[in-house]
Amino acid sequence: MGSASARLLKLFEGHRLTPTQRRIAHCMVRRAGDAPFLSSVELAELAGVSQPSVTRFAVALGFDGYPALRRHLRESEPPEAEPAGEGEGPGGLNEYQQAVHAEIENLRHLSALLDDPAPVERAGALLAASRPLPVLGLRAAAAQASGFAYFAAKVHPDVRLLTEGGSMLADRIDGCVRAGAGALLCFALPRHPQETVEALDSARQAGLSIVTVADSAFAPVAHPGDLLLPAAVGTGLAFDTACAPMLLGRVLLEAMCDGLPDAQARLEEFDARASERGLFAE
């Protein structure tokens, strides 16, 4: 499943897609196993778009129409590949179990993407070198940004958490730039606030390098000059689940620590002080 997702991502790379087309692409990546077997009508229903939108999507990718795209996907599938129904499991799964299994698949997709560690290593180096390090996450992404910032502050000398929008957000980003920041880490999860898009535009204009953890490489926050690391969210429950973005954030922390020579010493110092203060129950 992971290799099928990677093939789809490679197919979509380099194409300027509309928001509707990004939605179709995201749906196909999530259903990578059975994407080659879906009709245009079925894909439209799964993505919540019209059937003509699926046709236009295929044309935007350089195919004569959707049948040609589907034929290409089938021909590129390994011989042993078979259509996989989402939520299938031994003995049948209830909706809660299906949500768990969907997250397991998201983690498998993430593992496949991490088969090439170079993007994460590059991101870790950028974050480690930035003084200060602004970490942005609005609305649904605020929890991911806060979690990253909490742990990052134990090893990085200056982490600045940005989880509130409004007119002050651009001022706080400008303040980070004036203080010497070279990069900004953004967690961007659906539904994507317009304020996040605008904040990233401001950060780019100010010269910051952007590292973004997003639910898809085709999210509205995607920009050609950014380093975007995708991690899908689960959509089977009333509210999205974000296990993969959370784990990717921890992987980024590990990569950042590799770029901070004194990270281990800072952790040991924190542990010693925490013990002296009786900070944690033993």
Mean pLDDT of the chain: 89
Q: Pick the residue with more confidence: 246 or 32?
A: 246
State pLDDT tens for residues 164-198: 999 899 999 999 999 999 999 999 998 899 999 99
Under DSSP, the state recorded for 186 is: E
Average pLDDT over every residue of 214-240: 90
DSSP per-residue string spanning 79-148: TT-----TT--TT---HHHHHHHHHHHHHHHHHHHTTS-HHHHHHHHHHHH-SSEEEE--GGGHHHHHHH
pTM: 0.73
State pLDDT tens for residues 134-161: 999 999 999 999 999 999 999 999 999 9
Closest by CA to 121, choosing from 253, 265, 261, 267, is 253
Residue 122 confidence (pLDDT) above 70: yes
In this prediction, residue 129 has a pLDDT band, given cuts at 50, 70 and 90, of very high
Average pLDDT over every residue of 32-48: 89
How much is the pLDDT for 178?
97
Percent of the chain scored above 90 by pLDDT?
64
Residue 1 confidence (pLDDT) above 90: no
> Which domains does the chain show, CATH number per domain?
2-85 (1.10.10.10), 115-273 (3.40.50.10490)
State pLDDT tens for residues 43-97: 999 888 899 999 999 999 999 999 999 999 988 876 544 444 444 444 477 888 8
Place of tokens 């924190």: 270
Residue 221 confidence (pLDDT) above 50: yes
First-to-last C-alpha distance (Å) of the chain: 42
Nearest-Å Rg of the Cα atoms of the chain is 21
Q: Pick the residue with more confidence: 20 or 189?
A: 189
How much is the pLDDT for 2?
56
CA 119-106-253 angle, to 5 degrees, is 40
**Whole-number Cα distances in Å, 189 to 74, 162, 171, 221:** 31, 15, 23, 10
How much is the pLDDT for 95?
83
Give φ, ψ of 223 to 5 degrees. Answer: -145, 140
